[in-house]
Amino acid sequence: MAGSPDLLHDGGMRQILERAQSLADATPPERDRVVDFIRVASMVVVVLGHWLMAMLWAGPDGLVYGNALDDSVGLQLLTWALQVMPLFFLAGGFSNGRSLTSANDVGDWLGGRARRLLVPIVPLVAFWASVTWLLGPLLPTDLLRAATLVSLVPLWFLAVYLGIVALAPISHAAWRRWGWWSVAAPALAATTVDLVRFGSGVEWLGWANFLFVWGAIHQVGYAWQSWAKPHVGRRLAPAGLAALVLLVAVGPYPTSMIGLDDQAVNNTTPPTVVLLALAAMQAGVVGMMAPRLRRRLESGRVWTGVVLAAGMAMSWYAWHLTVMVLTTGLDLLAGGVLLSPEPLTATWWASRPVWLVVLAAATLPIVLAVVHLEGRRGATRRGWLAALGIFGAVVSIAALVLGGVSVPAVAGFAFSAWAAGAITRPGAGISDRSHAGS
């Protein structure tokens, strides 16, 4: 988010608000505020969705946990609106394309993007590495591993997005040369992967769609100005919805756009072409709403709120499941008051607002403690070293998400974050990046 990560380097809420106000007032008129809103709103929806989907119950036989989506087709249909990562990749494509156009050095651009994505993650990885190695001998191994894996789930998105960002100079050049053909190519590749995967049972091939599906969606972001319009949205949204319904009805694809453990096919891990249809539908909705959103975002108070939220979004995203895990543990020690309602009962639903408020209140102090790190200047790295850092981060984050905390994964992440300039010496200065830059 342009200019936003340095929001909170000043102490105190008054300074935070004043800084947000200053950045909001300095917003250039040509900036498309809808893009910023979409990125912030996507993070908010993901955080609230994860908190609401978690079914945690202090039953008579101990803690029972599950996913509210598992047994409810109605809730699974809601994921057609709540799976908003396609919107984030669309907005990311627009912002990356715009900033690449004005970048003087691609290596510096890569390093800057990598730092902004990795810096919020460094304290999270350090926290869970410390818990694992210091408290591991005192805690049940299975419990600690489960807590770690759940807490690090949000990092899957970061690994994928980092990989797409690393390829952005190439994909943006392809867009400038071939236009929509550069979207059609990865979309066709994703379709081919699914046909081969489900037709011949070559399951491992599906992992290629992390590149093809998310790459195609990010590619569409380069064309934001051409499709984020009401007359285009009115055609695109129903077309995307029709394709989505058809794929789910006649194909091997489940209803849920969020992966569930008990389903033979998962639409997100690895991703399937269903997400392309979902992206088309959501892009159409954005197109229809864009003029109204732009008018609403002209309000000084609303726009200041978006700028303020933008400065905290990645930290909230990084820490929200860790806070849920820690809150669950503390509540169990206190007798399980928050976890006493049986999931999906009327009492459970009525208690959800309290659950959300408690988690938000517990997350805010952590965010305020770590978010100032996002504004620190990273070390200047050569382009090849930044690229090496990005590649290493993708691999090490994948290892953390899939296998949990280990010495090789943490060491690999630490080296990668250093190579990308995300780990700097204590006392490094605060960046003074203009809000006008993307």
State the Cα–Cα distance between residues 94 and 101, nearest whole angstrom: 11
Q: What is the pLDDT of residue 379?
A: 58
Query: For tokens 């296998």, what's the residue?
Result: 403
pLDDT band, very low/low/confident/very high, at 116 (cuts 50, 70, 90): confident
Specify the pLDDT at position 2. 41
Residue 381 pLDDT grade (very low, low, confident, very high; cuts 50, 70, 90): low
Specify the higher pLDDT residue, 386 or 350.
350
Compute the mean pLDDT over every residue in the chain, rounded to the nearest whole number: 87
What is the rounded distance in angstroms from the CA atom of residue 306 to the CA atom of residue 435?
A: 13
Res. 11: pLDDT tops 60 = no
| Amino acid in the structure at residue 378 | G
Q: Is residue 39 part of a domain?
A: yes
Average pLDDT over residues 29-54: 92
pLDDT of residue 194: 96
Cis status of the peptide bond prior to 270, with omega within 30 of 0: yes
In terms of pLDDT, which residue wins out, 373 or 144? 144
Minimum mean pLDDT range among 61-75, 92-106, 297-311: 61-75
Give the rounded percent of residues in the chain with a pLDDT score beyond 70.
91
For the stretch 305-333, pLDDT in tens is: 999 888 888 899 999 999 999 999 999 98
| Tokens (6 digits) for 134 | 């210091």
User: What are the pLDDT digits (tens) for 236-245?
Assistant: 999 999 999 9
What whole-number distance in Å separates Cα of residue 163 and Cα of residue 395? 10
Cα dihedral 127, 128, 131, 134, rounded to 10, equals: -90
d(CA 410, CA 299): 44
Give the pLDDT band of residue 13 (cuts 50, 70, 90).
low
Burial 376-390 (b: 16+ CB within 10 A, else e): bebbebeeebbbbbb
In this predicted structure, the answer to whether residue 6 has a pLDDT above a threshold of 70 is no
Percent of the chain topping pLDDT 90: 58
The predicted structure's pLDDT at residue 207: 94
Is there a contact between 378 and 420 (Cβ–Cβ < 8 Å)? yes
- Determine the Cα–Cα distance for residues 254 and 358; give it in Å rounded to an integer: 33
Q: Which residue has the higher pLDDT, 217 or 425?
A: 217
| pLDDT of 420 | 84
Q: Is residue 428 in some structural domain?
A: no
Taking only the tens place, the pLDDT of each residue in 385-430 is: 888 889 999 999 999 999 889 999 999 999 999 888 887 655 443 3
CA torsion through residues 260, 265, 271, 273, sign = negative
pLDDT at 375: 55
Q: For the segment 245-261, what is each residue's pLDDT rounded down to a tens digit?
A: 999 999 899 999 988 87
- For the ranges 12-26, 196-210, 354-368, the lowest mean pLDDT is seen at 12-26
In this predicted structure, the answer to whether residue 211 has a pLDDT above a threshold of 60 is yes
Q: In this structure, is residue 128 part of a structural domain?
A: yes
Number of domains the chain is built from: 1
Residue 214 vs residue 57, higher pLDDT: 214
Q: Which structural domain, as residue segments, surrounds residue 343?
A: 4-419
pLDDT of residue 430: 37
pLDDT at 437: 38
pLDDT digits (tens, 9 = 90+) for 278-310: 999 999 999 999 999 999 998 888 999 999 888
Beta partners for residue 62, in sequence order? 59
Question: Residue 434: inside a domain, yes or no?
Answer: no
Q: Is the pLDDT of residue 378 over 80?
A: no
Average pLDDT estimate for 265-280: 94
Top-confidence residue, 372 or 183: 183
Q: How many residues does the chain have?
A: 438
Q: What local confidence, expressed as pLDDT, does residue 1 receive? A: 43
